Amino acid sequence: MGVSKAIKEAITEAKICLDTKGVGWLINDLNVHPVGSDKHIGGKYVYDHDKNTTDIYLEPKTDELSLTTVFLHECGHRLYTEEFTPAERKEIRAYYNKLRKRYSLPSITDMIDALIGEPIEKFGVVQKVTRPKKGEQFWVFELDSDDVIEVEGLDSLEFFFYRHSPTVTDQQLEVFPTSYSYTDNMEWFAEVFAFWCEDDVPPSLDKFLSRLLKPYARKTI
Ligand SMILES: [Zn+2]
């Protein structure tokens, strides 16, 4: 299956970002497959150890992150899985655990409760939140403009409100750029790697990642 124009553009853009960090070689010998937008996967990385093949699946439409960021995230998984030494992975785990201890994030319930009465960028003030009843998928957010927002599933919900909830501080947002990055050390690394490639991390993280990636930076023409 051929890849779409949007995917081609995302790969080209990602390559530029990766090159500036000296890791443009990460997209060599890689198969990219488009995935239907009904799958809700965003992106997926698969490494076949026996065959030594790498496949990345991309869903052309993602909620908030650009396709470029999703692709960079999957490249981060490749780095972690195929390149890093056990000692380097251990270092990432230790750094991630330290951050989790320092910045404990509020629960999803607290994040949502804190939204009531709050103005949300572009949407207005949240008046009421209704959780999905049995067999339903959608959370319903009623706004002061009489509009409603329906959000499907916990993943996209967390994503959406993590960035808007007043219970999440700017410092937390810097080191955990998405709620997904809070999942575990591998997802955290893939997320911050993507943001780092796009020059969107605080100095402390930049220092950590630049040092970690130094042995992998190769000159590109
Ligand atoms: Zn991931």
Ligand 1 centroid, distance to 36 Cα (angstroms): 18
For residue 151, the CA-to-ligand 1 centroid distance in Å is 21
CA of 128 to the centre of ligand 1 (A): 32
pLDDT value at 33 more than 50: yes
pLDDT in tens, 151-167: 776 666 666 678 778 88
* pLDDT tens figures, 178-209: 888 888 999 999 999 999 999 999 999 999 99
Q: How far is the CA of 181 from the centre of ligand 1 (A)?
A: 9
- d(CA 98, ligand 1 centre) in Å: 20
Domains in the chain (CATH in brackets) are 5-98+172-216 (1.10.10), 108-167 (no CATH)
Instruction: Indicate if the pLDDT at residue 220 is higher than 70.
Output: no
Distance 184 CA to ligand 1 centre (A): 10
Least confident piece of the model among 53-62, 78-87, 168-177: 53-62
Alpha carbon of 180 to ligand 1 centroid (Å): 9
d(CA 76, CA 80): 6
Ligand 1 centroid, distance to 156 Cα (angstroms):
14
How far, in Å, is the centroid of ligand 1 from the Cα of 70? 9
State the distance from the centre of ligand 1 to the C-alpha of 99, rounded, in angstroms: 19
Predicted local confidence at residue 158, as pLDDT: 66
pTM higher than 0.85: no
Closest CA to 180 of 43, 31, 47: 43
For residue 186, report the distance from its CA to the centre of ligand 1, in Å.
7
